[in-house]
Chains A and B, each alone.
Chain A
Amino acid sequence: MLAFLVQRIGQALLVMFVISVISFAIQDGLGDPLRQMVGQSVSDAEREQLREDLGLNDPFLVQYVRFATNAVQGDLGTSYFYGKPTLDVILEHLPATLELVIAASLMIAFLSVPIGVYAAIRPRAWLSKFFMGVSTVGISIPVFLTAIVLIQLFSIGVTVTWFPSDTGWGQWLNDFFSTDGGMPSYGRGDELTHLFGTWESNFFSGTGLLHLLLPAVSLASIMLPLFIRLIRAEMMEVLQSDYIRYAQAKGVSPRRINFLHALKNTMLPVITVGGVQIGIMVAYTILTETVFQWPGVGLMFLEAITRSDIPLIVAYLMVVGLVFVITNTVVDLVYGLVNPTVKLTGKKA
């Protein structure tokens, strides 16, 4: 266990190092941050002076060593745009993203397991076929499209006039397909509950939850179909295995077989995949946050790129690298808990 953690910390450091070198190496390609900081009529000479002050004219190695020396002391530089330490900026934006990811993960967890299990137990039921069909569509629609459609349907509202409104049934159908709108379409809303530090939460008020709903659904829409299909496939395979047949022969109740014996073994691969997917979800938040103007790290990162806010870009990449390492470590630990036969060692497999 200890060896395992030591190995993971070593990995984390290596990841950080590689990311910092790469992001530092590409910074010239990210454009000139000065243009974002000065007005159009500032002369070349003054811009040059500012560039010198910011240390942008130093050779790559000098800049990198300066960065690394500070980074080791916990200082990842100062954002050009925010004028604050990059870590502070990221920590301010992180709660919004985490809450979005948590909300989406909860949705996925609470929907994918029952649906996946049902589809595995009753593969021929029309409802299963319906879920499978919808999930195929779900996988193939990009997240920003889902988001825009959700906004149109639930925030702006749609008035349908396809059917003759002078007849009772036509009016009824029109009403049936029309939506009211009125859901919040951007941001986190005003009613945030302060938890601690810079953490303002959406989870403790009606309006807060309402603001969270559409972005979380959009984000969940990418992963939900994947998990339904994964759980279904795994479950079906487990149901074919000998120990299940034996239990069935023994007359154990189907409910006990399905939810205790089979589900437990189904969840092992799902947890592994889940861990990786949470990391990927952090990446997808960039799209979701942009469409919903959700003030999290994804939106912050995208804007940092358009502003060539290099220190913030580097710091974000390093923090995300760390998040990946941590989630993978936690997943491996959880894996060990669910299936004690898995050994966590420091040795490579």
Chain B
Amino acid sequence: MKRLLTACVSCLALAGAPMAGSAAEADKELKLAYDADPVTLDIHEQLSGGILQLSHMTFDPLIRWTKDLEFEPRLAKSWERIDDRTMRFHLREGVKFHSGNTLTSEDVKFTFDRLKKSQDFKAIFKPFSELKIVDDTTFDLVTNKPYPLLLNAATYIFPMDKAFYTGEDDNGNDKSAISKQGSTFASRNQSGTGPYVVTSRQQGVKVEFDRFDDYWDTESPGNVGHITLTPIKENNTRVSALLSGGVDFIAPVPPTDLERIKRDPKTDLVTMSGTRIITFQMNQERVEAFKDKRVRQAIAYAVNQEGIAAKIMKGFATPAAQLSPTGYQGHVDSLKPRFDVAKAKELMKEAGYEDGFTITMMAPNNRYVNDDKIAQAVAAMLARINIKVDLKTLPKAQYWPEFDNRAADMMMIGWHADTEDSANFYEFLTMCPDADSGNGQYNAGNYCNPELDKLVDQANVETDLDKRAALLQKVEQGLYDDAAFVPLHWQDLAWASKSNVKIEPILNVMNFPYIGDLVVE
């Protein structure tokens, strides 16, 4: 047995050895395990974490976020405001696509137009009217109205190779087509400017990448030449794969295994407070009592966010009293979780519901970290102010249709702002539901405060960022005073790697590791 084990270890070591003949500066191999693999190679087909992670590996954005939520030039080397609706960008010169073509403004325009057609991305690009080409390396992004989040949206522009994606494929279909059903040319083939080229892909099994020889960013310290990405959905298996040395880098790390990884001297753990907020919404249309602000406040006072974060999330969450996490413009520092059962009971009494009432509650049980346990805890907390909760938890596939139908009095929802901006939270979660504008699409509480909505609308055209922050903070404060929803916490993020893989510098709160810059010792 021992001999067999030794043989296997040496086999693995051989497999892990650098491949001869690859570039001298990028010769390290990286085995990566995420909980899912990208559903397609077409980066405009779906807006999801997996696709954005892929985009940063095989494409490059015009600009990207730094660790402290600042903008960093990538393919756009500089940009300046021309007027309140126009931003001029200057492209880096001599950037090559994987196909060998050179990046020009035409490619950016092609990408921009395609984004406007993509079902998932067009919401982000709705405020934009056009992209005007000035010359080969200069172009203007024009918005309909003054738009403060222009640069935020520019982080979503990963220029695609126009020549490569134009024309017809072997089956006579348009190469630039975007489709969620069936396969398209773009879902099978890629030509980006990014650090890695996809060399083989078996969906759900593994994706392999090689470093792009002509990658423009020669200053990047990244030295990984070959990447194997394996999706490992099962938490235990992913952690075991890291602990046994089968993979070099995993994400996410489940809260239950944080200690285990921290204890292991061969592995490093990196955690960060995240930006995904977990909340409960109180449906005012279904429950008369929820129309009373005092009842909503009572519920807000009855819920112990700190307790949930400490006990259920094992400290792996940041207790919240608002939607905006630290660093977002709408974040109001003074808002702290208000846990006070006596005060809650008092408010219930004032509102005339001392004897309480019965409500229904729904939550998913496999969407957010510990979602079903959190829901049980909240139900128990509400019992203390005589609100009897009839709780039902469902797998996410069954939960979302129920959520769309607003099928329970209190429903759980977690949200991450695609624009990394507070206004996105309000637009989807708290603004008065309106089918035409799409506002309040996920406002299952039917909470509606037109005054706050007006402030959000103002903020959306305010390009003076200080003024805008003031407006957004006013909204956040208003929502808090109204107890518009029950905030719980922001989910923390965690990654782990072998000690020789230096992941700390390349991680960020958006959870797309910049693997092109990863250094393996």
A residues sitting closer than 8 Å to B (CB atoms) are 29-33, 35-46, 50, 53-54, 78, 80-84, 92, 148, 151-152, 154-157, 180-187, 189-191, 206-207, 210, 290-293, 295, 299-300, 303, 305-308
Q: Mark B123-163, 1 if CB is under 8 A from A, else 0.
A: 11000000000000000000000000000000000000000
Could you list 12 further interchain pairs (A-B, Cβ under 8 angstroms) beyond the known A183-B8, A306-B366, A306-B396?
A39-B46, A40-B442, A41-B428, A42-B120, A44-B404, A46-B119, A84-B182, A184-B12, A185-B246, A190-B15, A295-B202, A303-B233
Contact A186 B183, beta carbon cutoff 8 Å: no
Judged by a CB distance under 8 angstroms, whether B430 is at the interface is: no
Which interface class (under 10, 10 to 19, 20 to 34, 35 or more) fits B? 35 or more
Instruction: Give the complex CA separation of A41 and B12 in angstroms.
Output: 44
Interface residue ranges, B against A (CB under 8 Å): 2, 5-9, 11-12, 15, 33, 39-40, 46-48, 119-121, 123-124, 180-183, 187, 202-206, 228, 230-234, 236-237, 240-241, 243-247, 366, 395-401, 404, 415-416, 418, 428, 435, 438, 441-442
A191 touches B244 (CB 8 A): no
Assuming the contacts A300-B204, A306-B395, asked whether A37 and B401 have C-beta atoms less than 8 A apart, the reply is no
Q: By the criterion CB–CB under 8 Å, are B240 and A156 in contact? A: yes
Given known pairs A184-B12, A290-B234, A293-B234, the reply for A44 and B441 (CB within 8 Å) is yes
| Residue in A closest to B260 when the chains form the complex, CB atoms | A156
A80 to B397, CA, bound (A): 14
CB < 8 Å neighbour of B240 from A42, A185, A210: A185
A322 to B485, alpha carbons, bound, how many Å? 51
Complex Cα distance, B400 from A35, in Å, reads 7
CB distance from B83 to the nearest CB of A (A): 28
A87 → B minimal CB distance (Å): 15
Q: Which residues of B contact A207 (CB under 8 A)?
A: 8, 11-12, 15
CB-CB < 8 A to A308: which residues of B? 397
B183 CB contacts on chain A under 8 angstroms: 83-84
Measured CB to CB, the nearest residue on chain B to A289 is: B234
Q: Which residues of B contact A33 (CB under 8 A)?
A: 397
Given A31-B395, A207-B11, CB of A41 within 8 Å of CB of B120: yes
Partner of B241, one of A32, A36, A186, A295: A186
Residue contact A151 to B46, C-beta cutoff 8 Å: no
With A39-B48, A41-B47 in contact, do A305 and B397 touch (Cβ < 8 Å)?
A: yes
Q: Report the tally of A-B residue pairs with Cβ distances under 8 A.
A: 167
Q: Is the CB of B400 within 8 A of A155?
A: no
> What's the least CB distance linking B393 to chain A, in Å?
14
Given contacts A148-B236, A292-B237, A293-B230, contact A183 B244 (CB under 8 A): yes
B418 pairs with A41, CB closer than 8 A: yes
State in angstroms the CA–CA spacing of A154 and B8 once bound together.
Answer: 11
Is B46 within 8 A of A37, CB to CB?
yes
Residues of A within 8 A of B47 (CB): 39-41
- With A83-B183, A148-B236, A207-B15 as given contacts, are A35 and B397 in contact (CB-CB < 8 Å)? yes
Q: Which residue of A lies closest to B442 (CB)?
A: A40
Task: Name the residue of chain B whose CB is nearest to the CB of A186.
Answer: B241
Contact A181 to B181, CB < 8 A, known contacts A36-B397, A42-B120: no
Min CB–CB distance B442 → chain A (angstroms): 8
Cα distance A190–B39 in the bound complex, in angstroms: 22
Assuming the A-B contacts A32-B397, A183-B5, are A41 and B181 also in contact, with contact meaning beta carbons closer than 8 angstroms in the complex?
Answer: no
Cβ–Cβ contact A185 & B244, under 8 A: yes
User: What's the nearest-Cβ distance from chain A to residue B360, in Å?
Assistant: 19
Min CB–CB distance A210 → chain B (angstroms): 5
- In the assembly, what is the distance between CA of A30 and CA of B398, in Å? 6
* Contact (A291, B234) CB under 8 Å given A155-B246, A191-B15, A210-B8: yes
Instruction: Give the docked Cα–Cα distance between A43 and B33 (Å).
Output: 32
Given A50-B180, A182-B8, is A306 in contact with B245 using a C-beta cutoff of 8 Å?
no
Check A182 against B428 for contact (C-beta < 8 Å): no
Decide: A31 near B418, CB < 8 A? Known: A39-B47, A83-B182, A180-B2: no
Q: CA A33 – CA B401 in complex, angstroms?
A: 10
Known: A29-B398, A295-B205. A187 touches B230 (CB 8 A): yes
* B5 cross-chain contacts in A, Cβ below 8 A: 154, 180, 182-183
| CA distance in complex: A348, B415 (Å) | 60
A38's partner among B119, B399, B441 (CB-CB below 8 A) is: B119
Chain B residues positioned under 8 Å from A81 (CB to CB): 39, 203
CA distance A293 to B228 in the complex (A): 15
Give bound CA distance, A155 to B441, whole Å: 47
Interchain nearest-CB distance for A16 vs B (Å): 25
26 contacts between A and B (CB under 8 A): A31-B398, A32-B400, A32-B401, A36-B397, A38-B119, A38-B180, A39-B48, A39-B418, A40-B415, A44-B435, A46-B119, A151-B240, A152-B240, A157-B244, A181-B244, A183-B5, A184-B12, A186-B237, A187-B230, A187-B246, A191-B15, A206-B7, A290-B237, A291-B234, A300-B204, A306-B397
